Chain A
Amino acid sequence: MPVGAEVVSGVNTVWALTIAFLIFFMQPGFALLEAGQVRAKNVGNVLMKNMTDWLFGVLVYFLLGYAVAGVVGPLTSGREIVEPFAYMSSPGGWVTWLVGAVFAMTAATIVSGAVAGRMNFSAYVVVALLMIGVIYPISEGFAWWGGLLASGGFIGDALGVAYKDFAGATVVHMLGGIAGLVGAYMVGPRRGRYDDQGNSQPIPGHSMLLAVLGTLFLAFGWYGFNIGTSSIYTGSGTFLGPQIGRVALVTTLGMGAGGVAAMLVSATWQGKPDPLWTANGLLAGLVSITGAVPHVTWWGGLIIGAIAGALVLPTYRWVVDSLGVDDVCGVFPVHGSAGAIGTILIPVFAADSSGTVILGDSWAFGGVDQLLMQVVGVLVIGTLGVLGAMVAFGIADVLFGLNVSEEEEETGLDQSEHGISVYPEFTAGGSRDSPGVSADGGVSGGVQDD
């Protein structure tokens, strides 16, 4: 029996606020994950970049980004653009704005992990402003504001189906992952990341503990990201129990399968199961399933997560060894390619109540049109990520220059960019002239090829 309108809006609003707080908690997750993967001399800089994403982000997303999304939607679907800044005078919509904002900041903060350890801080602020104020709003405008990829958009209309990306595997994560890859390419590798022959040399992160804890914080916040994208009631008051159940289960199975697959691949590839790859695989599983959660069978979600997790290590090696891009935190394998793969596979594993029952869940192929739409959507958002990052990093380069100097990078960005030391006992000095003794004996001369 449907409930009344007051109950619907009350429950749905409380739910929306709850998940906004959960998704906000992904920010400390990203901060820890990225901080753990950089040297101790660059931790403060990573933290500053993450705070920049959030602090500048909420301002620019309110003052500009939300309006850009509201323009892009109609503009790419042939509808009339009505007062893009109207939201500023409607308090009833501000909870919805907050939910949009926590998604936007997730997309932006992915980029910082790729360019850690050598990028000029002022230049990064410029990139973050453009990412949150323009690039991400275009992406969500295309998919979620009735724009280009929606059923009424120019491409959606031409193909006769709407692009499926439920909670932003591509709209949020792949966009950030691809922008991060392009940014890391444009900023160039950290000094010492490649030897004279171009072979990659390890620059170990300073804390596996922080990296893995950050991953688990992210996974916790992810429940807001995925399940929160589903309302509790429809507008007409019907309880969405089955959809919420599917989203909760598929999210969890995708995460589990991604982590297990990455652990097995790392054990096979390197001889021992590796915590960082396992953590990356867990996240890749989550990313891959984020667009698919209400649309696929539970076993389909498990398969998608496993594929994404298994591919993290080989994709990272391809980025680092073949492309020569120093993607410090592996944001392309974790957010970029995983989001693309999972979202394209949605029609392959589509849940359909009139389909064939396999392992208790009804499945039917989602159709060639839908598959084509998924590929086109990934290409459109991927292209947006590439072009957007080229423009954003290009502007930042002209304004401030992308890189710190060789001496500043050697000293560490904490000292050179912020005048602080996160671990004074261990990194004091920290320069070439007065090196500290590092706890693990340091990275010595005889580095070997992998």
Chain B
Amino acid sequence: MTDEIKMVTAIVRPDKLGDVKQALAEVGAPSLTVTNVSGRGSQPAKKGQWRGEEYVVDLHQKVKIECVVADIPADDVVEAIADAANTGEPGDGKIFVLPVDDAVQVRTGESGPEAV
């Protein structure tokens, strides 16, 4: 067991959320927070049109999954998400791993890795 707390932030395709949730549960890190986001990366811009006048949609809809872990290695979580969210096409998303200084569980008041 490590004392380090890590936050894994993954931005993935919305239709991959179900697979990612299942993969996280299988790797032993079922707790997560999901946010609808839009953003721009390597995925090419889409064209929209209204009455034949075209406009560019270059912010694509994604979901951001935040998963904070202490006793599960962050690498396992990253690998699980990367596998589950992969299609091989531009626009699959990104995963970031950040250090977390501390954590507090609201209900019990516990802090540190135990709170995670």
Contacts and interface: CB of A to CB of B under 8 A. Distances in A.
Contact of B54 (A203, A266, A277, A450): A450
B100 interface: no
Determine which residue in B36, B47, B49 has the highest number of CB atoms from chain A within 10 A of its CB, and name it: B49
A324 to B, nearest CB: 14
A29 B53 CA distance: 25
Given A204-B48, A205-B50, A446-B45, A441 B55 contact: no
A276 B51 CA distance: 7
B59 A266 contact: no
A369 interface: no
Interface string B49-85: 1111111111111000000000000000000000000
B89 to A, nearest CB: 18
B56 A270 contact: no
Contact of A440 (B36, B37, B52, B57): B57
Contact of B50 (A203, A266, A441, A442): A203
B38 interface: yes
A445 B40 CA distance: 13
Determine which residue in B37, B46, B53 has the highest number of CB atoms from chain A within 10 A of its CB, and name it: B53
B57 A274 contact: no
Contacts of A266: 52
Interface in A245-281: 266, 269-270, 274, 276-277
B103 to A, nearest CB: 28
B50 A202 contact: yes
A201 B46 CA distance: 17
A274 B49 CA distance: 10
Given A441-B59, A441-B61, A200 B52 contact: no
B55 A447 contact: yes
Contacts of B58: 441, 444, 446
Contact of A202 (B37, B45, B46, B49): B49
A202 B50 CA distance: 6
A444 B52 contact: no
A316 interface: yes
B60 A443 contact: no
B38 A202 contact: no
A437 B52 contact: no
A interface residue count range (under 10 / 10 to 19 / 20 to 34 / 35 or more): 20 to 34
B59 A202 contact: no
A205 B47 CA distance: 16
Interface of B is mostly: strand
Interface residues of B, number: 20
Contacts of B57: 440-444
Given A437-B37, A437-B38, A448 B51 contact: no
B61 to A, nearest CB: 7
A313 interface: yes
Interface in B1-42: 36-38
Contact of A448 (B46, B55, B60): B55
B64 to A, nearest CB: 12
B5 to A, nearest CB: 29
Contacts of A317: 52
Nearest to A270: B52
A444 B50 contact: no
Contacts of A270: 49, 52
Given A437-B37, A441-B38, A204 B60 contact: no
A277 B37 contact: no
A447 B58 CA distance: 11
A317 B54 CA distance: 14
Contacts of B48: 202, 204, 440
A101 to B, nearest CB: 33
A201 B53 contact: yes
Nearest to A330: B51
Contacts of A202: 48-51, 53-55
Determine which residue in B46, B51, B53, B60 has the highest number of CB atoms from chain A within 10 A of its CB, and name it: B51
A274 B51 CA distance: 8
Contact of B56 (A204, A437, A444, A450): A444
Given A440-B48, A441-B60, A441-B61, A204 B38 contact: no
B36 to A, nearest CB: 8
B44 to A, nearest CB: 12
Contacts of A330: 51
Interface in A320-334: 330
Nearest to B59: A441
Contacts of B45: 444, 446
A276 B53 CA distance: 13
Contacts of B50: 202-205, 276
15 contacts: A202-B53, A202-B54, A276-B50, A276-B51, A313-B52, A437-B36, A437-B38, A440-B48, A442-B57, A444-B55, A446-B58, A448-B56, A450-B52, A450-B53, A450-B54
Interface of B: 36-38, 45-61
- The 9 A-B residue pairs with the shortest CB-CB distance in the complex, in nearest-first order: A441-B59, A202-B53, A204-B50, A202-B50, A446-B56, A450-B53, A441-B57, A270-B52, A202-B55
